Amino acid sequence: MRPGVIDHAEAAAARDQCQADQRVWRIACSAACIGVVCGQLLLAAADTPRDGGDSQSPIVARVGNRLIREADVDRYIGREVYALKQRLYSLRQRAITNIIDSMLIRQEAEAQHISEVELLDRAAGSVRSPSTIDVERGWSENYDALWSLGYAAGRYRVALDREDHARTEAVQRYLETIEKRAGVIIDLKAPEFRLQADRSACRLGAPDADNHLTVFLDYECPYCIKLEALLKDLLEEEPTRSRLIIEVKHLPLPIHLTAFESAVAATCAAQQGKFALLHGLLFSHSDHSARGISAIAQDAGLNMAQFRTCLDGETAKRQVLSDTREAQVNGIQGTPALFLNGVPLTSGDNSDAIRRSILSQVQLRGAAEPVSSDHHR
């Protein structure tokens, strides 16, 4: 190329690469900022007294005179800790089963004065050869994996696999029989996921209730609107009227354009002690524009000067963002998400099933029994 002549293709490629580098840089910076912010939250959390005996949690780090405990780190990691516990539970469960089976096989073989291999051969018994139709079906279903063996060898491989599968099932049935005869009891408990969240100032119901229903919601979510009718019923009937407090956490979804502003407005109403009024009006009025929210606040009897100051300030917005971060940490991706005394309610959008689950658990908990607050920070 002659000096001074611009190669447009090279220029375009350089521009694209520059833009790509900038995108990578922005992503890296965003990830770093998120890490720093979460680290700052963790550090602040280390200074805050916790319910549930966190003071007994092992100390894993120190920053000056401030302590970081294992429980603080687990909260920082969030639901991934639960996933790891589930994985560990599965490994332990499998190991326990293998240990028990080995003990029983050895015991049975010694009692019959035969080897363990001979015992299992007897347990497998004589297996009937698979039918021609069964072999042809296996050849057809696994053609891509077997075609290189050829038709005859491939069908023979299918027949062997079918026979091995039948023998394995027979041995498994035998093991279940001797486990039952030996009275095997496995006491390993599966890990239980519990919500990790701060107490919310946005509350409904009896303040001294012994059952806490935490609800992550979005004021524009159609399922949340449907759920609101159920929550109102629960707060008007016994035993939930006197024994249930509903703590609202805000999770405004990006697909709802004014959900964040609605959540901020509800948080501002809570500062004036009128959350319940504004909460109900936000669900019954569809206009959540700035003008609409102002009209709703007036209907709720809020001090409008204080309300506008709160909307323009950062405190309520930070609280909504804090709720959103808690949702992320706990693996919550949609609304509504319900937790009764820290335990997830998995009834989908079936209001009757949710009602039955809440009523049964509230009735099981004695009125005089104090509620565990481990799920609150």
Inter-CA distances, 245 with 119, 201, 208, 258, Å:
60, 12, 8, 27
Residue 81's φ and ψ, nearest 5 degrees, are -60, -45
Closest by CA to 297, choosing from 321, 323, 267, is 267
The predicted model gives 19-34 an average pLDDT of 40
pLDDT tens-digit series, residues 254-295: 999 999 999 999 999 999 999 999 999 999 999 999 999 999
* Position with higher pLDDT, 56 vs 133: 133
Predicted pLDDT of residue 125: 82
**The pLDDT of residue 28 is above 60:** no
* pLDDT confidence tier of residue 22, bands split at 50, 70 and 90: very low
Predicted pLDDT of residue 377: 55
Assess whether the previous peptide bond of 222 is cis (omega < 30° from 0): no
Predicted pLDDT of residue 375: 56
**The pLDDT of residue 364 is above 90:** no
Query: CA-CA distance, 148 to 157, in Å (whole number)?
Result: 12
Inter-CA distances, 297 with 136, 288, 312, 330, 372, Å:
72, 11, 15, 31, 35
Query: CA-CA distance, 257 to 243, in Å (whole number)?
Result: 36
pLDDT tens-digit series, residues 78-112: 778 888 888 999 999 999 999 999 999 999 999 99
Both tokens assigned to 346: 């998995």
The total of other beta-carbon atoms located within 10 Å of residue 250's CB is 28
The total of other beta-carbon atoms located within 10 Å of residue 149's CB is 14
Predicted pLDDT of residue 25: 39
The total of other beta-carbon atoms located within 10 Å of residue 340's CB is 21
Contact 167, 127 (CB under 8 A): yes
Predicted pLDDT of residue 76: 78
Domains along the chain? 8-77 (no CATH), 82-182 (no CATH), 203-364 (3.40.30.10)
Lowest mean pLDDT of 59-63, 296-300, 364-368, name the range. 364-368
CA dihedral 176, 177, 179, 184 (to 10 degrees): 100
Predicted pLDDT of residue 47: 46
**The pLDDT of residue 121 is above 50:** yes
Predicted pLDDT of residue 373: 45
Name the pTM for this structure: 0.61
pLDDT tens-digit series, residues 198-220: 899 999 998 888 899 999 999 99
**The pLDDT of residue 19 is above 50:** no
| % pLDDT > 70, the chain | 82
Query: CA-CA distance, 44 to 66, in Å (whole number)?
Result: 9
| % pLDDT > 90, the chain | 57
The predicted model gives 55-71 an average pLDDT of 90
Query: CA-CA distance, 162 to 105, in Å (whole number)?
Result: 24
pLDDT tens-digit series, residues 319-354: 999 999 999 888 898 999 999 999 898 755 577 888
Predicted pLDDT of residue 102: 95
Tell me what the pLDDT averaged over the chain comes to. Answer: 83
**The pLDDT of residue 3 is above 60:** no
pLDDT tens-digit series, residues 159-175: 999 999 999 999 999 99
Bridge partners of residue 248, in order along the sequence: 215
Give CA angle at 285 (282, 289), nearest 5°.
80
Scored b (16 or more CB within 10 A) or e, 61-77 reads eeeeeeebbebbbbbbe
Predicted pLDDT of residue 196: 84
SS (H, E, C) the chain: CCCCCCCHHHHHHHHHHHHHHHHHHHHHHHHHHHHHHHHHHHHHHHCCCCCCCHHHCCEEEEECCEEEEHHHHHHHHCHHHHHHHHHHHHHHHHHHHHHHHHHHHHHHHHHHCCCHHHHHHHHHCCCCCCCHHHHHHHHHHCHHHHHHHCHHHHHHHHHHHHHHHHHHHHHHHHHHHHHHHHCCCCCCCCCCCCCCECCCCCEEECCCCCCEEEEEECCCCHHHHHHHHHHHHHCCCCCHHHHCEEEEEECCCCCCCCHHHHHHHHHHHHHCCCHHHHHHHHHHCCCCCHHHHHHHHHHCCCCHHHHHHHHHCCHHHHHHHHHHHHHHHCCCCCCCEEEECCEECCCCCCHHHHHHHHHHHHHHCCCCCCCCCCCEC
- By residue count, the chain amounts to 377
